[in-house]
Amino acid sequence: MINEILELFNTYGSNILNAFVLTLQLTLLSFVIGFCGGVFIAILRSVAPRPIAIAIRLFVELIRGTPMTVQLFFVYYALPVAGPKLDPFTASLIALGINSAVYQSEYLRSAMNSVPKTQWEAAISLGLSSYRSMIYVVMPQALRIALPALTNEMIYLLKFSSIAYFVTLPELVYTAKWIGNRTYAFIEAYTIVALFYIAMAFAISEVMNRLGKNIAVPGIAAEGMR
């Protein structure tokens, strides 16, 4: 079987590598969008007036309570009714980014709640506003605590990026199916794709672990939350 896999990769290697790059781009960009959105949502839920906080919570529960595939289909098929048609990559990026923002906001909010209240009180006593206390005092500590959960989120996004297959984005799973349809070597094609996913997940884990060690503060341990 190894010979068949090598022969298949030799023939379709360029297609697989292009799909790999596309999958990696989709994963990293959706994580960045999700992180920015997650920080914004987490802070708003902590310092915004009650009506706004309730509205944000309803949005969070809506996203958490619906399948990601449904969210992707809504973005790809429903949004163009009110605006321009989205290409598969843009639609997938929006859907994954929004979904990730909601989950990352929950990780960050839990991490923020784990920061001792004395930190907040000390910042307020020094004259910082609630918003500035959150940004400059609480959030940096929360990020360290939430890093393991954020690492898991990035790996989940890597795997969830495969749903872009449903809107014909030529990522790894779509490309494996395309190769299988042409050669009937489905097992070999999906084996190659699985190896790429494993390699990317391992690389993400290693990079984030090294980042965690670099930003760690002695005496403060970060624990995974998912």
Phi, psi of 224 (to 5 degrees): -65, 150
Q: What is the pLDDT of residue 215?
A: 77
Q: What is the pLDDT of residue 97?
A: 97
Residue for token digits 């930003």?
215
> d(Cα 129, Cα 199) in Å, to the nearest integer?
45
Q: What is the pLDDT of residue 141?
A: 87
DSSP 75-115: IIIIHHHHSPPPPHHHHHHHHHHHHHHHHHHHHHHHHHHHS
Q: pTM score, two decimals? A: 0.89
What is the residue-level pLDDT of the chain in tens, covering all 226 positions? 789 999 999 999 999 999 999 999 999 999 999 999 999 999 888 888 889 999 999 999 999 999 999 999 999 999 888 878 899 999 999 999 999 999 999 999 999 888 888 887 788 888 888 778 888 888 888 888 999 999 999 999 999 999 999 999 999 999 999 999 999 999 999 999 999 999 999 999 999 999 888 877 665 554 443 3
Residue 44 tokens, joined: 């708003």
> d(Cα 20, Cα 146) in Å, to the nearest integer?
28
Q: What is the pLDDT of residue 136?
A: 82
* Closest alpha carbon to 146 in 202, 205, 105, 96: 105
What's the first-to-final CA gap in the chain, in angstroms? 37
Q: What is the pLDDT of residue 220?
A: 55
Domains and CATH numbers, the chain: 2-215 (1.10.3720.10)
Q: What is the pLDDT of residue 223?
A: 44
Q: What is the pLDDT of residue 84?
A: 82
